[in-house]
Amino acid sequence: MSWLLVVALLVGFAVDPSAATDHIVGANHGWNPNINYSLWSGNQTFYVGDLISFRYQKGTHNVFEVNETGYDNCTMDGVAGNWTSGKDFIKLPEARRYYFICGNGFCQQGMKVAITVHPLPHNASANGSGGTGAEEEASAAALRAGNAAWLAALAVAAATFC
C-alpha cells in the first residue's frame, strides 16, 4: 500500500507546470480555406516553447512562415520555414509575432494565421523584472533541476521504505 503512495507522489512531482501546449490551428476544422483563423488565434494564448500544429491534406496545402509583408500580401516575402507533411508540429522558440500562410495559392482564401508568442508567465513573475531571454531560460532550467532533485529523493525514499 505504501508503494502506491510513493508512486502517486512521484507522478505528481513529474508533472511539469511549464509543459508546452500544442495549439492545433483551426481546432477540428484544421488548415483549410474559408476559415477565420484570426478568430481562432484570438482565442489562444501562445507561450515560448509551445507548439503550433497544422493538419491538412498533404499535397494540396502546405505551411510557410513569412514576415508581415508576406502575410499581408500572401507572398513569400521573408520566408523563414516551409512544412509539407500534412501534420506539421512547429515549435515556437521565442516571444515575438509569427506569420504563417499556405503557399499553394490558398492564402487569398483565408489560409493564413498570425500569432503572438509571449514569454513564460512564471519566469517573468519570478523576480518581478521580466528578465531577459537568458534569465528566463536559466530560471526554467533551475525549476526543472529542482523537480528532478525531488524525484530522485523520492525514488531513494521509496526504495528504502518499500
**By CB neighbour count within 10 A (0-12 exposed, 13-18 middle, 19+ buried), where does 44 fall?**
middle
Give pTM, 2 decimals.
0.66
Ordered by where they begin, the domains of the chain are 22-118 (2.60.40.420)
pLDDT in tens, 79-118: 999 999 999 999 999 999 999 999 999 999 999 999 999 9
Q: Check residue 137 and give its pLDDT.
A: 52
- Mean pLDDT across 137-150: 46
Top pLDDT among 68 and 150 is at 68
- At 40, give phi and psi (nearest 5°): -60, -50
pLDDT over threshold 70, residue 60? yes
Q: Cα separations (Å) of 29 from 41, 80, 90?
A: 13, 25, 18
